[in-house]
């Protein structure tokens, strides 16, 4: 093992949804750990902005994770530029908050395609490259709602897709481990990101703080330590797990006993 088992020197990492929120924080942390970082996301303007911040070794692709042709082009482009792909973070995601009784099939399909099918497609094509190398790391960003359900339901396709992502993690971990590829997941709890900015000052924020033993919601940077560990050699024997990063949310029964 390297003198610093957490170093990513010489590694090439693709972070989907890497131009904002968790993805941007992860991309920056990977850069700081020595990796060459590729951002895969749909908005070209945001991609350009984050690549400028990441530096000369970084690049970006206009990636639609739900479109297999787009995924294939991105993976091929990474290999063409860097010669390899060592780390994949399946972070791209979206959410919908509706009753199951009002949910349109098109909305269900959109959320499932981005959150779950997208991770499958990126894993499929990245793993082919990693197999030829004999090594690789795949990290799926799930959610605590991949382990439980929201108290009043409503986030139907999001919850189902994040549960499915943990199943995808386990089945792929078992298949790919003999090839030297470790697949794991992270389940973030409540964090402030662009997707959750409306929480600030809300009654839900107050309820979440009461539920979370640490008494606070996380920031995007709170996720990067766990992601760096799972991306590095330090986790070579960690296979098929889902690590909650949630301030203790999943450790507590959540009852307000006064």
pLDDT in tens, 216-251: 999 999 999 999 999 999 999 999 999 999 999 999
Kindly state whether residue 107 falls inside one of the protein's structural domains.
Answer: yes
Kindly state whether residue 1 falls inside one of the protein's structural domains.
Answer: no
How far apart CA 241 and CA 14 sit, in angstroms, is 20
Q: What is the CATH number of the domain that holds 180?
A: 3.40.50.720
Kindly state whether residue 252 falls inside one of the protein's structural domains.
Answer: no
Q: Which pLDDT value is given to residue 19? A: 95
How far apart CA 258 and CA 256 sit, in angstroms, is 6
pLDDT in tens, 152-169: 989 999 999 999 999 999
pLDDT in tens, 70-101: 999 999 999 999 999 999 999 999 999 999 99
Which residues are marked as active site?
158
How far apart CA 26 and CA 38 sit, in angstroms, is 11
List alpha helices for the chain, DSSP H: 21-32, 44-54, 68-82, 105-112, 118-133, 156-176, 203-211, 224-231
Kindly state whether residue 7 falls inside one of the protein's structural domains.
Answer: no
Kindly state whether residue 3 falls inside one of the protein's structural domains.
Answer: no
pLDDT tier for residue 258 given thresholds of 50, 70 and 90: low
pLDDT tier for residue 194 given thresholds of 50, 70 and 90: confident
How far apart CA 115 and CA 113 sit, in angstroms, is 6
Kindly state whether residue 161 falls inside one of the protein's structural domains.
Answer: yes
What domain count does the chain have?
1
Kindly state whether residue 41 falls inside one of the protein's structural domains.
Answer: yes
Kindly state whether residue 112 falls inside one of the protein's structural domains.
Answer: yes
- Scored b (16 or more CB within 10 A) or e, 44-54 reads eebbebbbeeb
Task: Give the burial class of 178: count Cβ atoms within 10 A of its Cβ; 0-12 exposed, 13-18 middle, 19 or more buried.
Answer: exposed
Q: Which pLDDT value is given to residue 1? A: 46
Owning domain of residue 33: 12-246
Q: What is the β-pairing status of strands 242-245 and 181-188?
A: parallel
DSSP conformation class of 201: T
pLDDT tier for residue 195 given thresholds of 50, 70 and 90: confident
pLDDT tier for residue 192 given thresholds of 50, 70 and 90: confident
């Amino acid at each position: 093992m390297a003198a610093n088992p957490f170093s990513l020197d010489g590694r090439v990492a693709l972070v989907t949804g890497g131009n904002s929120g968790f993805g941007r924080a992860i991309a920056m942390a990977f850069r700081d750990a020595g990796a060459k970082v590729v951002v895969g996301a749909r908005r070209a303007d945001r991609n350009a902005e984050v690549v400028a911040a990441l530096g000369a070794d970084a690049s970006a692709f206009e990636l639609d994770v739900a479109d297999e042709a787009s995924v294939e082009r991105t993976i091929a482009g990474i290999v063409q530029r860097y010669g390899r792909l060592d780390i994949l973070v399946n972070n791209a995601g979206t959410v919908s908050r509706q009753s199951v009784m009002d949910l349109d099939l098109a909305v269900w399909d959109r959320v499932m395609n981005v959150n779950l099918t997208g991770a499958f497609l990126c894993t499929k094509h990245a793993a082919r490259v990693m197999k030829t190398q004999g090594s690789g790391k795949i990290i799926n960003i799930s959610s605590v709602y991949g382990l439980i359900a929201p108290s009043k339901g409503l986030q139907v396709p999001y919850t189902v897709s994040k549960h499915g992502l943990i199943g995808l993690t386990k089945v792929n971990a078992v298949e790919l481990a003999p090839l030297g590829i470790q697949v794991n997941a992270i389940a973030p709890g409540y964090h402030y990101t662009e997707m959750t900015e409306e929480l600030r000052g809300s009654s839900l924020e107050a309820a979440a703080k009461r539920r979370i033993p640490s008494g606070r919601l996380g920031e995007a940077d709170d996720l990067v330590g766990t992601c760096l560990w799972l991306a590095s050699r330090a986790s070579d024997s960690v296979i098929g797990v889902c690590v909650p990063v949630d301030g203790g949310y999943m450790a507590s029964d959540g009852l307000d006993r006064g």
